[in-house]
Amino acid sequence: MLAIHALLTPIPRRRITIPKLTPFILSPSESSSSSFSGLISFHRRWRSYRGITSMAGSGTISTESTPEHVTEKWFSVPELRLRNHRFSVPLDYSKTSPKITVFAREIVAVGKEEQALPYLLYLQGGPGFEGPRPSESGGWIQRACEEFRVILLDQRGTGLSTPLTSSSMLQFKSANDLADYLVHFRADNIVNDAEFIRVRLVPNADPWTILGQSFGGFCALTYLSFAPQGLKQVLITGGIPPIGKACTADDVYDAGFEQVVRQNEKYYKRFPEDVEIVRELVTYLAESEGGGVPLPSGGVLTPHGLQTLGLSGLGSSTGFERLHYMLERVWDPILVPGSPKRISHFFLNAFETWHSFDTNPLYALLHEAIYCDGASSSWSAHRLRETFECKFDAVKAAKEGQNVLFTGEMIFPRMFDEIHALKPFKAAADLLAKKEDWPPLYDAAKLKTNKVPVAAAVYYEDMYVNFKLVMETASQISGIRLWITNEYMHSGLRDAGRQILDHLFGMINGKKPLF
């Protein structure tokens, strides 16, 4: 049942001028005291913010729109009130550049539209995935709305934030043009966007609380590194990245392959009948013309492609079950005696929808780039796989009667040959894999002197974010509190959001004292 709107006594509003500078992450040229051009760029941006105003007093922002911030009308889903905000932000914050749109959705519990609530920004996992689309109150959103005004951000390039889709990216005339564009869609600029939004949305441009899930936690560490003055508290679930090297991708995949082997062992122990099903399927694919079978959209399913089902199937709470039920229907029935054996359309279609590359190609294009902090990834997962090939050679395993192992959260070059939605972007992906001059994502010295309260849920058996690497990074963040648990998998926030958020709030607000 919907909550009844509370009758609130109107509180007078007063117009104020924000007296402080937007704390952008500066480009290296702006950070250098010897860069006069960088300082000019910085001060131009400061002059443009001096006239920014917001409505304070009631805790809400004026519905008056400006060219750089459009506020839409409130609408409802069960037990929640929502309204949309669209911001016009620079593609490149370090210089005058074209504008893109960044979309954010404001959410409150019904009846709290005019209440003075603190703000909580949610940073989605990914990279390349939009924020949640709530259809009702529940889970972590319901819990957060008890205390906060929640902001769901569509990170740049996703959802309604000038989306980079398999169709929109075809507008670029060359792979170089696309690659040059995509370099602006990592955590550094996601944080720049968040700061752009905060000073226009939060009364008095006050600091806000952020909640980062998975890759959103990576963004949270970037935020702590370069714009901590915008943060009141930081909550992280399954998302503490490795830091301290120019590129940490090799460390991630070296540890990742070992964890994936263990997840495969668990899967086949749960579903032993799938051992033979997968072997038979791999043999069928390898012996098909061209080493695979056509997919409905125009790609091809090969033994290597089949192994990528582990990306989602081995790491989430219901992944094992979903993968098993998918494999149950891999073959068409023989209705006419003598008809050849065929893979079912159900299975082929399910395979294509499993990864969401057709709707979220940014994930594949930038996946290794999120680990680059001044050096190239050079197709790290592909290189590291060669060292584990004795375990991950699917065709050899099927012939020798061994378990065929699925791979984990890894992007391989051949996916840009075999997956139809990714084919047009193969050359751009290769340019990104070879790019060496990536700007920094973290400041280890700043993290060691961090003053912002941080609480993080760490999942001991997380396939996506390795526990050992998490602990190495956490030891370098001053003031962080860890909740280490094997009760949940990487999808814990989705599976038990209220419980997890309750625990993190208790840690960060002193209800769960230090031991």
Supply the residues annotated as catalytic: 214, 437, 490
Q: What are phi and psi of 56, to 5 degrees?
A: -120, 170
Query: Residues 153, 179, 351, 159: what is their CA dihedral angle, to the nearest 10 degrees?
Result: 20
CA distance 194 to 89: 10
Instruction: For 343-385, give the secondary structure using H, E and C.
Output: ECHHHHHHHHHHHCCCCCCHHHHHCCHHHECCCCCCCHHHHHH
Locate 2 and state its tokens.
Answer: 């919907």
| DSSP tag of 425 | G
- Side chain identity at residue 236, one-letter code: I
Q: What share of the chain is helix, strand, coil (3-state, %, to 5)?
A: 40, 15, 45
Query: 54 by DSSP, 3-state: which?
Result: strand
The size of the chain, in residues, is: 515
**Identity of residue 8:** L
**406 touches 309 (CB < 8 A):** yes
Q: For residue 3, how many C-alpha atoms fall within 13 Å in the half-sphere facing its CB?
A: 16
358 contacts: CB under 8 Å, gap ≥ 6? 166, 297, 352, 420, 421
In a 13 Å sphere around the CA of 299, the CA atoms on its Cβ side amount to 23
Distances from the Cα of 75 to the Cαs of 101, 105, 433, in angstroms? 21, 11, 43
Omega before 272 cis (within 30°)?
no
The Cα–Cα gap between 332 and 8 comes to: 62
* Residue 482 β-bridge partners: 456
Rounded Cα–Cα distance for residues 306 and 300 (Å)? 10
Secondary structure tally for the chain: helices H, strands E: 22, 14
The rounded distance, in Å, linking the Cα atoms of 197 and 182 is: 21
CB contact at 8 A, 69 and 48 = no
Per DSSP, 164 falls in state -
